[in-house]
Amino acid sequence: MRVTKVNTMTEKYNMPDERGHFGVYGGIFVAETLIPPIQELNEAYQRYLKDPEFIAELSADLKNYVGRPSPLYHAERWSRHLGGAQVYLKREDLNHTGAHKVNNTVGQALLAKRMGKTRIIAETGAGQHGVATATVAARLGLECVVYMGSVDVARQALNVYRMKLLGATVVSVESGSKTLKDALNEALRDWVTNVDNTFYIIGTVAGPHPYPAMVRDFQTVIGHEAKQQCLEATGRLPDALVACVGGGSNAIGLFHPFIDDTSVAMYGVEAAGDGIETGRHSAPLSAGKPGVLHGNRTYLMSDENGEIIETHSISAGLDYPGVGPEHAWLKDSGRANYVSITDIEAMAGFHALTKMEGIIPALESSHALAYTMKLAPTMKKDDIIIVNLSGRGDKDMHTIAQREGIEL
Amino acid sequence: MSRLAATFEALSKAGRKALIPFITTGDPNPEFTLPLMHAMVEAGVDIIELGIPFSDPMADGPVIQRASERALAHKMSLRRVLALATEFRKTNQHTPLVLMGYVNPIEIFGYESFADAAKLADVDGILTVDLPPEEASEYGSLLKARAIDPIFLLAPNSTDDRIKKMDVLGSGYLYYVSLKGVTGAGHLNIADVEAKLQHIRANTQLPVAIGFGVKDAAMSKTIADIGDGVVVGSALISKIEANLDDLDTAKRDIIALLAAMRQAMDA
Ligand SMILES: Cc1ncc(COP(=O)(O)O)c(C=O)c1O
């Protein structure tokens, strides 16, 4: 069996530093009560990352439980239609529970088990991370509480029901903007209160160190597989990578193993919502500035007084005012490009893939697809784009039907 | 000597403990805060902690979260908190003022500009909840260079090593968060607080104020016997919340609670 690579560095790129800094970004910005559990987590993570038994168990779970490796699928018909580069889809939508999120929850749950924690908490936006967390908690027999903004509870009702079936308690969060950032606040409050027995599984590359590095490392399985699959299928590396960016975990999972391969362009796609110019969007890298939220310094959407601005996106999973600190670093360093796609464009991406390839994508992933529709035609026919199809669209049927005036 | 150090020294000489109210600036409206501050001083408080409202108060329970929301609805901001501190100083030059909040408003203000503005407003201490010593060394120096005390939190799970770190970086006082939880939580265990204070005293000479979970006069007395100061926040803000349509009553109830605490602590 192929053993999963879990690595914190490539040959030339060694980020973050030991205190979790990616240049000026990242770090540990939390209240004092959370410092000891974060240190405990970091020690456990550093230790098990090098533990062959841990890696073997993780590899087996990823293969037999998650269903990895996920295919790299050549979307030939769509590529022909777009008339430019060959588009390959990394099929994270085929993972157990329907998105890339489970790669991370399987890893963190194994850590929780080894650390003797009996209670799991998580925040969720689209509900994919909540479902992926409830799933691994069920499997390990751990208590599970998932925090979700009440706006998201309403628009992702199906995932709420899935979590409940899996035995999780879903807490609807009524504070602030009632979306992902508020769910994160509430999860942090729970963690502060229950630090002794509780493991907080953060669902993206945000939060205080070591989360951005740890979640990335668990997600790099996407990029490692994609690289090998691309070489096997085409004999060469891709020319471009495209992934949507909410907190940025599916994007960094795909990008990271290619960071040293400077011929490979990287495009992170943020949610432009109603349009960047309207202010109703979720695109901190495209339109925000550096600040501190949820334990790290990164690009943020905050006003002139430093208050966090409410975000907007058709996709709950991208509806977040911050972004993982490593993306902030990759933006400033110029290694990756960050672009944005509106709700309307994302819908076009959604329909295009559904009709052309018989694959119904998640609304989050549809942002990456919509950008691919712009990018592919500008490239040569023998160029290769790998798009991270981070999740499937089942959870979004109600949102899409409603938007198009159809009653289910 | 800073106003905070002088205050604790004078109290210690008199065998008394500091009573430290926390209120969210601009809650429930910007006009309410300044008269309340003066009234609290009259009721016998020693130091005032002024909360800087923030959209995402991660370490706060529902009572202070809602106080932040009420203040932000009136466009309260860090700039306006500083303006209010300036206003307070026009008629009160002796009561130390500590600003307490989250780091993003300060980050966006600019650390150096903020340190200058806080100095100009004659603020005495700054407590930044989500800025632990790991990330605070430069900022701490900026404050100390202007004779403003950087105040750090200690928690029940802080190790002796960390207490030593706070002792070096912090000044004015250390704020001991008496329980694992958010502000306003209700499960404070006195024996635990006593045991922890022994560890803290062994590692620092700084005065220790104790907060989180102090709700009534009896509790303030118990805590005063353990620490050098007692911080009370959610219990005061609850009075505002219970009387949003009658703010005179809110103010009267706050002052009555503080007076009772003062009396119990001095008895
Ligand atoms: C399918 C899917 N893709 C992407 C995201 C965005 O998260 P991230 O940017 O961390 O990959 C989510 C989040 O819920 C998701 O469900």
- Ligand 1, atom 5: nearest CA belongs to which residue? A317
Residue A14 forms part of a structural domain: no
Tell which of A169, A190, A215 closes a domain.
A215
Query: Cα separation of A406 and B229, whole Å?
Result: 62
Give me the domain span that covers residue B66. Answer: 3-266
- Does residue B180 belong to the interface with chain A, where contact is any CB pair within 8 Å? yes
A154 and A293 co-located in one domain = no
Q: Which domain holds residue A106?
A: 23-62+102-215
User: Cβ–Cβ of A32/B154 closer than 8 Å?
Assistant: yes
How far B125 CA lies from chain A's nearest CA (Å)? 18
pLDDT digits (tens, 9 = 90+) for A322-350: 999 999 999 999 999 999 999 999 999 99
Name the residue at shortest CA distance from atom 12 of ligand 1. A317
Question: Is the per-residue pLDDT at A2 higher than 60?
Answer: no
Residue B22 in contact with residue A152, Cβ under 8 Å? no
Residues of B in contact with A328 (CB under 8 A): none
In this prediction, residue A64 has a pLDDT band, given cuts at 50, 70 and 90, of very high
Overall domain count for chain A? 2
Q: What is the mean pLDDT of residues B62-90?
A: 97
- Tell me what percent of the residues of chain A surpass a pLDDT of 70: 97
Please give the torsion angle defined by the CA atoms of residues A368, A373, A375 and A377, in that order, rounded to the nearest 10 degrees. 160
Check residues A176 and A136 and name the one with the higher pLDDT.
A136
* Three-class DSSP labels, chain A: CCCCCCCCCCCCCCCCCCCCEECCEEEEECCHHHHHHHHHHHHHHHHHHCCHHHHHHHHHHHHHHHCCCCCEEECHHHHHHHCCCEEEEEEHHHCHHHECHHHHHHHHHHHHHHCCCCEEEEEECCCHHHHHHHHHHHHHCCEEEEEEEHHHHHHCHHHHHHHHHCCCEEEEECCCCCCHHHHHHHHHHHHHHCCCCEEECCCCCCCCCCHHHHHHHHHCHHHHHHHHHHHHHHCCCCCEEEEECCCCHHHHHHHHHHCCCCCCEEEEEEEEEEEHHHCEEECHHHHCEEEEECEEEEEECECCCCCECCCCCCCHHHCCCCCCHHHHHHHHHCCCEEEEEEHHHHHHHHHHHHHHHCCCECHHHHHHHHHHHHHHHHCCCCCEEEEEECEEHHHHHHHHHHHCCCCC
Average pLDDT, chain A: 96
Residue type, A16: P
A171 and A318 belong to one structural domain: no
Instruction: Report the alpha-carbon distance of residue A336 to residue B211 in Å, rounded.
Output: 46
Domain shared by A93 and A107, yes or no: no
- Determine the residue of chain B that is closest to A309 in CA distance: B55
Residue A36 C-alpha, separation from nearest chain B C-alpha, in angstroms: 7
Give the residue numbers in A contacting B (CB under 8 Å), as ranges: 19, 27-33, 35-37, 175-176, 181-182, 185, 188-189, 192-196, 289-295, 297, 300, 302, 304-308
Q: Is A8 inside any structural domain? A: no
Q: What is the pLDDT of residue A1?
A: 41
Task: Give φ, ψ of B78 to 5 degrees.
Answer: -60, -40
In short, whether A212's Cβ falls inside 6 Å of ligand 1 is no
User: Would you state the pLDDT for residue A6?
Assistant: 65
A227-231, A273-277, B127-131, B179-183: least confidently modelled range: B179-183
A184: nearest Cα among A205, A167, A168: A205
In a domain, A277, yes or no: yes
Could you tell me the two tokens for B25?
A: 């600036």
* B76–chain A nearest CA distance, Å: 9
**Within a domain: A10:** no
Distances (CA, A) of B80 to A151, B53, B71: 31, 11, 11
Instruction: Note whether A241 and A308 are same-domain residues.
Output: yes
Q: Any idea which residues of A carry the catalytic annotation?
A: 101, 123, 390
Counting Cβ atoms within 10 Å, is residue A86 exposed (0-12), middle (13-18) or buried (19+)? buried
Helix and strand counts by DSSP (H, E) for chain B: 12, 9
- Tell me which of A183, A215, A247 is where a domain ends: A215
Closest CA relative to residue A311, chosen from A328, A288, A333: A288
For residues A295 and A169, state if they share a domain.
Answer: no
- CB of B111 within 8 Å of a chain A CB? The answer is no
Instruction: Give the CA dihedral B195, B199, B204, B205, nearest 10 degrees.
Output: 40
A248 shares a domain with A384 = yes
Compute the residue count for chain B: 267
Confidence of residue A107 (pLDDT cuts 50, 70, 90): very high
- Ligand 1 atom closest to residue A316's alpha carbon, by position in its atom list: 14
Residue A12 lies in a domain: no
In the predicted model, is pLDDT for residue A203 greater than 90? yes
- List the one residue out of A399, A406, A251, A383 whose CA is nearest residue A326: A251
Domain count, chain B: 1
User: Which residues from chain B sit within 8 angstroms of residue A295, using beta carbons?
Assistant: 130
Considering chain B, what is the average pLDDT of its residues?
96
Contact between B182 and A193 using a beta-carbon 8 Å cutoff: yes
How far is the C-alpha of B19 from the C-alpha of B256, rounded, in Å? 14
Please tell me whether residues A346 and A265 are part of one structural domain.
yes
Split at pLDDT 50, 70, 90, the class of A294 is very high
From chain B, the residues in CB contact with A300 under 8 A are: 104
Instruction: Summarize the confidence of residues A208-216 as an average pLDDT.
Output: 98
Q: Are A15 and A174 in contact (CB under 8 A)?
A: no
Q: Are residues A94 and A129 in the same domain?
A: no
Distances (CA, A) of A148 to A198, A230, A316, B55, B203: 18, 37, 10, 17, 41
Q: Give the model's pLDDT for residue A4.
A: 62
Residue A10: band (very low, low, confident or very high) from pLDDT cuts 50, 70, 90? low
Q: A245: Cβ below 6 Å to ligand 1? A: yes
Establish whether residue A362 lines the binding site of ligand 1, counting it when its CB lies within 6 angstroms of any ligand atom. yes
Return the CATH number at A266: 3.40.50.1100
pLDDT of residue B213: 87
* Rounded distance between C-alpha atoms, residue B109 and residue B112, angstroms: 9
Q: What is the mean pLDDT of residues A148-172?
A: 95
How far apart are alpha carbons A293 and A323 in whole angstroms?
10
Alpha-carbon distance of A212 to A204, in angstroms, equals 7
On chain A, the residues whose CB falls within 8 A of the CB of B65 are 175
Judge if A286 and A377 occupy the same domain: yes
- Give CA B213 to chain center in angstroms: 13
Question: Are both A153 and A240 inside the same structural domain?
Answer: no
**CATH value at residue B22:** 3.20.20.70
pLDDT tens string B144-198: 999 999 999 999 999 999 999 999 999 999 999 998 989 888 778 999 999 999 9
Q: What is the mean pLDDT of residues B216-239?
A: 97
Q: Which of B105, B162, B180 sits opposite A193 (nearest CB)?
A: B180
Rounded distance from Cα A58 to ligand 1 centre (Å): 21
Hey, are the CB atoms on B157 and A36 less than 8 Å from each other? Answer: yes
Find how far residue A184's CA is from the centre of its chain.
Answer: 15
Whether residue A366 has its Cβ less than 6 Å from ligand 1: no
Say yes or no: A37 and A183 in one domain: yes
Which of residues A198, A215, A232 is at a domain's end?
A215
In a domain, A131, yes or no: yes
Mean pLDDT of B193-219: 96
Domain presence at residue A188: yes
Q: Rounded to a whole number, what is the distance in Å from the CA of B60 to chain A's nearest CA? A: 8
Choose among A153, A212, A162: nearest CA to A180. Answer: A153
Q: What is the ipTM of this complex?
A: 0.96
Kindly state whether residues A344 and A365 are assigned to the same domain: yes
Q: Is residue A106 part of a domain?
A: yes
For ligand 1, is residue A202 a contact (CB within 6 Å)?
no
